[in-house]
Amino acid sequence: MLSARTLSAEALPYQTQQQTTSEVSAKGNLGEKIAIEEAYVVAPSPYVATAYSLRGRTASGRPVAKGMIAADPRHLPLGSRVRLEAGAYSGEYLVADTGSLVRGRRIDIWTPSSREAMRFGRRTVKLTVLSLPRKK
């Protein structure tokens, strides 16, 4: 089993490295993402969410679509994948946009209509970072 203590791969003998990798792979999707794909998982934290329904392209260059959110790039860089717990809006989202009023722990969820955005209002949601974009 792996301990909570981080071990350097150089400090482990080859046989132990193999066992560690296979034990992590056998744990399932989350373990595979962490060990193999080097995806980052951050504990859930509260964010203030609002909704918007503008048309056009996002800051990342993609056209707006369902499943996209706007966030402060200092907290959640463009390309991050997150999971929201927000009632009917719960699910996985891609951080693809920024906004002048989206600062700190605030997010904007894209909705197809302004009526839906108004109905969403402002609420506190639980946000979990599933992965951060790879650095180039």
What CATH number should be reported for the domain holding residue 69? 2.40.40.10
Quote the domain boundaries for residue 91: 42-131
Same domain, 32 and 60: no
Q: How far apart are CA 49 and CA 127, in angstroms?
A: 10
- Average pLDDT of the chain to the nearest whole number: 76
Domain count, the chain: 2
- Of the candidates 50, 61, 46, the one whose C-alpha atom is nearest the C-alpha of residue 97 is 61
**76-97 pLDDT, tens digit each:** 999 999 999 998 999 999 999 9
Same domain, 125 and 65: yes
Name the most confidently modeled range: 17-21, 23-27, 128-132. 128-132
| 116 within a domain of the structure (yes/no) | yes
Same domain, 12 and 64: no
Q: How far apart are CA 59 and CA 51, in angstroms?
A: 16
Tell me if 29 sits within 8 A of 21, measured CB to CB: no
Same domain, 48 and 31: no
**1-14 pLDDT, tens digit each:** 333 333 333 333 33
Same domain, 75 and 19: no
Any long-range contacts for 40-45 (C-beta under 8 Å, 24+ apart)?
Answer: 40/129, 40/131, 40/132, 41/128, 41/129, 41/130, 41/131, 42/128, 42/129, 43/128, 44/85, 44/126, 44/127, 44/128, 45/105, 45/126, 45/127, 45/128
Instruction: Give the confidence band of 99 by pLDDT, cuts at 50, 70, 90.
Output: confident
Place of tokens 């463009």: 78
| 136 within a domain of the structure (yes/no) | no
| 111 within a domain of the structure (yes/no) | yes
Instruction: Give the confidence band of 136 by pLDDT, cuts at 50, 70, 90.
Output: low
CA dist list (Å): 97 to 63, 70, 127: 10, 4, 16
Same domain, 94 and 62: yes
Same domain, 62 and 122: yes
Please, what sign has the CA dihedral across residues 129, 73, 63, 107?
positive
Cβ neighbors of 85 (< 8 A, separation 6 or more) are 44, 125, 126, 127, 128
| 66 within a domain of the structure (yes/no) | yes
Same domain, 76 and 124: yes
pTM (2 d.p.): 0.67
